[in-house]
Amino acid sequence: MASLQPNQHLFWSSASGEWLKQQMIRDLQIERDDLAGKLQNILADRDQYHIYLSIVRDLCHHFHKYTEERRLTSLKFGEASSDIPFIIGVAGGVAAGKTTAAAVFRELLSQLLGTTCVDVVSTDNFLFPNAVLEEKGITERKGFPESYDMAALIQFLQHAKTGQPDLTVPVYSHDTYDVSSTDKQLIHNPRIILLEGINVLQRPHRNGPNDQFISDYLDFAIYVDAEEDSAINWYLERVEKLYTVHRDDPASYFHRFSGLTIQEFRERALQIWHTINGPNLRGHIAPTKERANIILKKDANHNIEEIFMRKF
Ligand SMILES: Nc1ncnc2c1ncn2[C@@H]1O[C@H](COP(=O)(O)OP(=O)(O)O)[C@@H](O)[C@H]1O
Ligand SMILES: CC(C)(COP(=O)(O)O)[C@@H](O)C(=O)NCCC(=O)O
């Protein structure tokens, strides 16, 4: 199914080429050579690099505005202004490129703002462990709203937004396909948190009177959009790579498929997409697209081909 175009009454849109013409890209402050190797490959295309850079410069603008507003408000209430992180949501379907886009934003934001206190947190980390999913009978609904420990995720956001300097987050691994019982992500004094995940713009699934929205804690939101066919290809490439590397490791999730040929594994992965990730994309993720401030539409080669910006 083709990805739906955002409502033209709500969003300005620009083909990426046109967008670039509008940007003042002369006063670049950072050099591509400063970027880490993997990101350098992604940004090897000069136009794409400039598109990401112009988006990040907008993010810096919003960050400075937020910081200034916070300073003025705390003055009004007679409080010393403290650093409360600016939280940017990065939403989109499975394998749309959220993690990678967040890494690019982190690198460019750190360089433009001259701070290392930019952290990426994935909402995957707040999935219930596989054992709990099994207990609840929702193993086949991993990634659906009910598969997340929303209380823990909201508590993390509350801790961040109440200025706690040290934050601890569980760690989900695509390699083991589970939440680690030992590893933790430690965050110290964040200035910006990029919260990436399929559910960042979703409403609470129980929708009770006291349920909170993740978006209550977001200061800005970006939706990474792609045609479902592209996402399927990227998903298959990702899992095939994981399968090839990990299938011989008995401790790995992928070991259970080690009897399959690569073609059989591919068919199995495609079936998983069609029964889990595809329905989740259409039912729960894509409908949140228009809640984002910016929608980045990627082509089949991962290039941003169109940018939509909310008008209000
Ligand atoms: N801009 C990009 N250029 C090249 N490959 C990319 C790009 N963005 C994502 N990918 C690849 O696509 C796959 C899915 O990306 P990922 O960031 O893991 O998506 P998500 O976090 O949305 O699941 C990964 O294999 C990743 O390396
Ligand atoms: C962990 C996820 C819910 C989220 O994926 P991501 O946004 O990190 O790509 C997804 O990768 C997943 O495991 N879905 C369940 C079906 C499957 O792909 O096995």
Q: Which residues pair with 223 in a beta bridge?
A: 91, 295
**Ligand 2 pocket, mutate which of 142, 146, 234 (most atoms under 8 A from CB):** 142
Judged against a pLDDT cut of 90, whether residue 251 lies above it is answered with no
Cα 229 to Cα 227: distance, rounded to the nearest angstrom: 5
Question: What is the SS3 assignment for 171?
Answer: strand
Which ligand is the nearest neighbour of the Cα of 234?
Answer: 1
Question: What are the residues whose beta carbons fall under 8 Å from the beta carbon of 169, sequence distance 6 or more?
Answer: 121, 125, 126, 156, 184, 185, 186, 187
For residue 9, what pLDDT is reported?
86
The pocket around ligand 1, CB under 6 angstroms, is made up of 42, 92, 94-100, 234, 237-238, 302
Residue whose pair of structure tokens reads 């998903």 in the numeric block: 235
Handedness of CA 207, 210, 293, 100 (dihedral sign): negative
Ligand 1 centre to CA of 38 (Å) is 11
Ligand 2 pocket member 142 (CB < 6 A): yes
Which ligand is the nearest neighbour of the Cα of 143?
Answer: 2
Ligand 2 pocket member 276 (CB < 6 A): yes
pLDDT, averaged across the chain: 91
Judged against a pLDDT cut of 60, whether residue 254 lies above it is answered with yes
Which ligand is the nearest neighbour of the Cα of 133?
Answer: 2
Query: What pLDDT band is residue 28 in, cutting at 50, 70 and 90?
Result: very low
Ligand 1 centre to CA of 10 (Å) is 28
Q: Calculate mean pLDDT across residues 248-253.
A: 88
The number of CA neighbours under 13 Å toward the Cβ of 266 is 9
Q: Which residues pair with 187 in a beta bridge?
A: 167
Provide the CA 221 distance to its chain's centre, in angstroms: 10
Cα 176 to Cα 174: distance, rounded to the nearest angstrom: 6
Q: Answer with the residue of higher pLDDT: 307 or 14.
A: 307
Element (H, E) at 296: strand 294-298
Domain 11-310 has CATH 1.10.645.10: no
Residue whose pair of structure tokens reads 């070991």 in the numeric block: 255
Q: What is the pLDDT of residues 86-141, one digit of tens each?
A: 999 999 999 999 999 999 999 999 988 887 799 999 999 999 999 999 999 999 99
Judged against a pLDDT cut of 90, whether residue 4 lies above it is answered with no
Percent of the chain with pLDDT over 70: 93
Q: What is the pLDDT of residues 63-88, one digit of tens each?
A: 999 999 999 998 888 887 788 999 99
Q: Indicate the DSSP class of residue 125.
A: G
Which ligand is the nearest neighbour of the Cα of 52?
Answer: 1
Cα 218 to Cα 291: distance, rounded to the nearest angstrom: 11
ipTM above 0.90, yes or no: yes
Cα 88 to Cα 215: distance, rounded to the nearest angstrom: 10
Nearest CA to ligand 1 atom 23: 95
Cα 306 to Cα 54: distance, rounded to the nearest angstrom: 13
Cα 136 to Cα 142: distance, rounded to the nearest angstrom: 11
Query: What pLDDT band is residue 26 in, cutting at 50, 70 and 90?
Result: very low
Ligand 1 centre to CA of 163 (Å) is 31
- In this structure, are strands 86-92 and 192-196 parallel, antiparallel, or unpaired? parallel
Q: What is the pLDDT of residues 147-203, one digit of tens each?
A: 999 999 999 999 999 999 999 999 999 988 999 999 999 999 999 999 999 999 998
Judged against a pLDDT cut of 70, whether residue 34 lies above it is answered with no
Cα 113 to Cα 80: distance, rounded to the nearest angstrom: 22
Ligand 1 centre to CA of 40 (Å) is 14
Nearest CA to ligand 2 atom 19: 272
The number of CA neighbours under 13 Å toward the Cβ of 51 is 26
**Ligand 2 pocket, mutate which of 90, 99, 100, 124 (most atoms under 8 A from CB):** 124
Nearest CA to ligand 2 atom 5: 94
Atom index in ligand 1 nearest the CA of residue 104 equals 1
Handedness of CA 101, 107, 112, 118 (dihedral sign): positive
Give the end-to-end CA distance of the chain in Å, rounded to a whole number. Answer: 29
Ligand 2 centre to CA of 92 (Å) is 12
Instruction: Give me the amino acid identity at 245.
Output: V
